[in-house]
Chains A and B, each alone.
Chain A
Amino acid sequence: MNGWTGRRLRVDLSSQKFWVEEIPRDDLERFIGGRGLNAKFFNENPPWSVSVFSPESPVAFSVAPLSGTLAPCSGWTSISAYSPLFYPPRYVHVSMPGHWGPYLKFAGFDQLILSGKAENPIYIAIEDKRVRFEDARLLWGKDVLETTVSIQEQKEGRNGEVLCIGPAGENLVRFANVTNRLSWTGDHVGLGFIFGSKNLKALVVRGRKPVTLSQPDRFLQLCNFLRESIQRNRNASLLREEGPFFFLGSNGGGLGIKNYTETSDQSQEERWRIEFLKKYLYGREGCFSCPIHCGRVSLVNENYFGGVHFESTWSLGPRIGIFDMESTLRLVRFCQLQGLDPSSFGSLVSWLMDCCDQGILSTRDIGVSCQWGDEETTVRLIEWIAAGKEASEIFRHGCLMAAKTLGKGLELVPHSCGSDLPARDPRSSTEYALTRALFPDEWDYLQSSIERHPVASSGRNGFFENVSLQENLKILADINSMCPLVVGRLQLVSDSDVAQLLSAATGIAQDSQKIEAAICRAVQIERTLVGKAEGQKGDPLPLRFFRNPLEKSSFEEQIKGYHVRMESEGPSKQGGF
């Protein structure tokens, strides 16, 4: 088979057994890969009675035919699971940048499904269709850096890619993440918690399986053409020079400061951007097969580390009242090492600080008093939460749950449908706020900005059409393991480009219509999976982001209207699923 490997690896941690399944050809052609394949798997294997601690709760990792090839920006991995961030857990998909996904392909698999729970801490080493379950008791408790270096230098060699958790995941912090190469993380799905609950410290993949193509010459020609056009693009050049900090100030201002009590203006954002680029930027890092290399490498106090982007620095910077970039970078690095998502953690700390500032919470309630800009307390909180110390029990579940447990501060929690809000202030634009409420699990900066979309902003389409177009671009990237920034936000690779690449890779004729059908199928299944979860989806946006309750009602009506139109006109009619 060309492009795809056609194989799915199933690993059961309880029995420490693995087996390989053939993925039906029909599924591959209809869902392509990545997000689509994950959705299909979960739809056919619905654990309706899943509980957060249930070892049967599966986690799916998928890649696409273009993964592990020279297709530009094709290094992303789709991860799906029933996320412990929500009560009850609901189906969530996230895409993770970096290098891990292509190595799963090189090991000979399009998809990996993990289930069960190991008796003792282990890590899994996947090498060329062989799976080893290795004792990780000596690694348990180590931070992400120590884990990756220990595994690579002492056991598995540098040719593999490591995906591991830190102490936060081990101690079952709900918003803990998994990290690859210390720079790329799988966030927003509580994957660190899931790994920790399964006693899984790391996933190491290495492979010598060649990825074959149907028409290598044609594929190379297309890749070269796309890479050159990306190189020539002005926005791509800016992204290469400034990394994700390029987005600061480009939307005309509008990031939340101090738990959204203030909103940034364009000059504040530019100062933040320039301070990082001038003083702390050391080098660049790139995802697999990417011609842009937007990863930023920082140098702070003789520590070199990657994975710095404006979301993480803003969340542990102005969002919690810290306006000094060096302090922020220290916090970001510490957070990353513990395996904590800086954005979610910043959300929690900003809420705590806001509550303390307004006298809603005090030292008696939470064991510590934190005021705006208190770096020392923030460091202590990171240590407590990651270590699972008793005083931090209420914070391990995120700020919405902490507010509900304490019975205070609920109105100040920065969330949308239970998901932490990213850096951008929902009040900066109504269209942005609506998109956030409709797709709360997506990283904001990866989404195409509706105001800057050439079709969407032309005024020719209505809100429903624009939002659907936006989300479909993201899904186009996700089912092909491609970068949503390049495909969705900057639109440097179109659906017809992807179709041509897929045709040359797999030998199966693809066109924009077939790809659109695959997108529709993925959307339809995901809506079904999320819809079937018990309980309500949650408050789309807290009242404090509106001028009055009437405005909030009108907002919720628009959300409802979108869902109604999706049911009647959405993908169910086009997908033919």
Chain B
Amino acid sequence: MVREAIEVNSISILPDLCTGCQSCEMICSLSHEGVFNPEYSRIQIKKWPGIVVYIPIVCQHCEDAPCITICPTGARRRVAKTRVVITDPKWCVGCKSCIYACPYGAPVIHPEVKKTMTCDLCDGKPLCTEICTVGALSYTFDGKFSIERKMAFAPKIIPSQRFR
């Protein structure tokens, strides 16, 4: 059997760099809905002001997407070419099952239409990753994110290898 590696790009999040400025929410709501409001954005920042933590949450286009499995109408589906998971508004009935199924509740309910919407990676150039000036959001192939996190951690054990 021939096995072929598939490289998939996705938005990688580094929450320790997020400053909570909400620029990503603004560009997302403007580019997709033509207006500004964080509740119209497919990327949402969750805030813990008491300990100054800001965590961006956005659809990660899971390989085994539970939202696709649970969707009763087939509105949640994967675009074969780009492997992006989207909601087809023609079929979505707004039952919110995808939100319950998602491990971190990424789908957002559109405030007017009342159907869910998720990140569509902006046709291959996600604007939120371009507008983020602190590097909390980047658009990388999935392997690179794993390497980056390893490289962020590895130096912490260097002292035990060299400076005993």
Interface residues of A (CB under 8 A from B): 68-70, 99, 106, 145, 148-149, 152, 158-159, 181-183, 207-213, 216, 220, 227, 231, 283-293, 295, 297, 304-306
Contacts and interface: CB of A to CB of B under 8 A. Distances in A.
Contacts of A212: 34-35
Q: Dominant SS at the A interface?
A: loop
B158 to A, nearest CB: 21
Interface of B: 16-17, 19-23, 26-27, 29-31, 33-40, 46-47, 49-53, 111, 131, 133-134
Given A231-B133, A293-B21, A211 B52 contact: no
A105 to B, nearest CB: 9
A562 to B, nearest CB: 38
B37 A211 contact: yes
Given A69-B26, A220-B30, A148 B52 contact: no
B36 A181 contact: no
Given A106-B39, A207-B37, A291-B23, 16 more contacts: A70-B26, A70-B27, A70-B30, A106-B38, A158-B47, A159-B38, A181-B47, A208-B39, A210-B29, A210-B33, A289-B22, A289-B26, A290-B23, A292-B133, A293-B133, A305-B52
B46 A158 contact: yes
B36 A211 contact: yes
Contacts of A149: 49-50
Nearest to A149: B50
Contacts of A145: 50
A287 B21 contact: yes
Contacts of B49: 148-149, 152, 181-183, 306
B50 A182 contact: yes
Given A289-B23, A295-B19, A216 B30 contact: yes
Given A208-B111, A231-B133, A297-B52, A285 B35 contact: no
Contacts of A286: 19-21, 134
B16 to A, nearest CB: 7
Given A216-B34, A284-B134, A293 B52 contact: no
A305 B31 CA distance: 33
A151 to B, nearest CB: 11
A99 B54 CA distance: 13
Nearest to B39: A208
Contact of B52 (A289, A291, A304): A304
